[in-house]
Structure 1
């Protein structure tokens, strides 16, 4: 039986960044007809589609309220609208921290609020952002604090809440490790090098990442599992209801793994750096969502 699905994108990258090519072939083998459409295309037929998969909707940060309204209007959306609303604002990290997860220490700074700058190198980033846009690293001390204040004023002038986090030096040597899950089940992992000084993609939507295949250590895998379980508990959903998830982990100064981000809305899933079975696992997870 033929099934149909729409991969939701944006007008600046109407067919994503190319990472899903192998996934489209795997879905075709299972009898799926897949097409791409920008999420704000009113003629795309999202409301009638059997399944709509959030993939490259990377301009949502500029129109988040409109994007979330659109998510609510799509009955067969993966991941669901309730997930997108929670996960597209990085303040969810504070919720996970309060729930007892080992998360990179995170302070929210609302517009107009003041902050005591860390005494070690730190990062300031907008709470609503994708692809590391708007993130900047600063050194401790007067010079770094002055630059950070200027960056913070710029974010606040746009009405944006900021996150302040201590910079994790392990990113410079080990990078981050990203663990991909399909239907709540582990699929594969890949490393991501630091992006704060990387080039911006021609689309202007994200910073170019340097990726590579990886095998997560047991304690990293355990943290990723705990992060998924905690998030699903907070959201009141089952892990199987998540078509995909990406858990980004770094090593803290003491070597322990820390959660950097939990990407449940439109993450790159690293298929180009995964084993040949990853697209097949994703295609099976898509079928599971329809069931």
Structure 2
């Protein structure tokens, strides 16, 4: 009996996987799987012969989303499914999840078709405190800036940032910046095949205005025990996710991997900041057993 094949799809910038994912091929081999690594847009790869394809460091999708989702639709056996990829690569998915009861950070959506001028942008920004401007299609913190509402120069920089994105035909999100991110970071809750794997604390990354000539800082994450309230919010989010997938995509399946980022708001209220089902960093190196959890989750799918 031949071994099942699992291909870990990555980007040209990380053709040998990220450092965090590097132990994964050996862990898959230990489970009787033939592991492969391939760049998602490599024209020489026959994805029909790639077995189960698991998305990993495909962070470049944000600049080529249409091409990426079209590619995903051609992959015969993709984890997570191509319909999920199309949906989760545009942060408008947060609107759908909020409708299903998932607590989110209040967001002002700015759309290119609104043809907003600078004054209209100004009126849509918060009147006080810090706030964030980011594109609806983005990976990590790329394209994201943090601004101060009461500082004229900072506010003008936010207007220029949003206007540039809108002129590129990109939707824009405006959200209040929660001070708890500076004090205790974000918590990432990580699930594999519907089971809890581990949680990490991600340190604050946003220090100021977005600058296209400056790379986004690397994420810094540490293992931590999530609170009962955080896990409860994670389950609430997962229920919303699966409700959407079942009702809109006509399928009811566990996701091979799912990362839910949560933050604490005012008066201790918890909010979901992001749901990552495509290029999610899973912080496998932070927690003993995390690599094995992921390899087990993949193996279940590979041997189906």
For normalisation by structure 2, the TM-score amounts to: 0.89
CA distance in 2, matches of 1:272, 1:31: 22
Question: Aligned to 2:143, which of 134, 137, 147?
Answer: 134
Matched, 1:58 2:59: yes
Q: CA deviation at 1:247?
A: 0.5
CA distance in 2, matches of 1:23, 1:49: 16
Residues 222-271 of structure 1 show CA distances to partners (whole Å, capped at 9, x for unaligned) of 1111111111111114352x110001000002112110000011111001
Residues 63-82 of structure 1 show CA distances to partners (whole Å, capped at 9, x for unaligned) of 11010000000010011111
8 Å contact from structure 1 (residues 124, 162) kept in 2: yes
Alignment correspondent of 1:81: 82
Alignment correspondent of 1:274: 287
Question: Aligned to 1:289, which of 259, 277, 301?
Answer: 301
Structure 1 gap segments, 5+ residues each: none
Deviates most, 33-42 or 61-70 = 33-42
Question: Aligned to 1:216, which of 206, 226, 233?
Answer: 226
CA distance in 2, matches of 1:205, 1:76: 33
Instruction: Report the secondary structure of 1:52's partner residue.
Output: strand
Instruction: Report the secondary structure of 1:233's partner residue.
Output: helix
CA distance in 1, matches of 2:236, 2:26: 32
Alignment correspondent of 1:238: 252
Alignment correspondent of 1:261: 274
8 Å contact from structure 1 (residues 10, 58) kept in 2: yes
Q: CA deviation at 1:42?
A: 1.7
8 Å contact from structure 1 (residues 184, 239) kept in 2: no
4+ runs deviating over 4 angstroms: none
CA distance in 1, matches of 2:283, 2:252: 24
Residues 103-156 of structure 1 show CA distances to partners (whole Å, capped at 9, x for unaligned) of 111121102234411122110000000021010011112613322111111111
For normalisation by structure 1, the TM-score amounts to: 0.93
8 Å contact from structure 1 (residues 190, 215) kept in 2: yes
Alignment correspondent of 1:94: 95
Matched, 1:172 2:182: yes
Query: After the TM superposition, which residues 199-214 of structure 1 pair with which residues of structure 2 at under 5 Å, given as runs?
Result: 207-214=217-224
8 Å contact from structure 1 (residues 94, 106) kept in 2: no
Deviates most, 62-71 or 43-52 = 43-52
Matched, 1:150 2:150: no
Q: CA deviation at 1:91?
A: 1.1
C-alpha RMSD of matched pairs (Å): 1.8
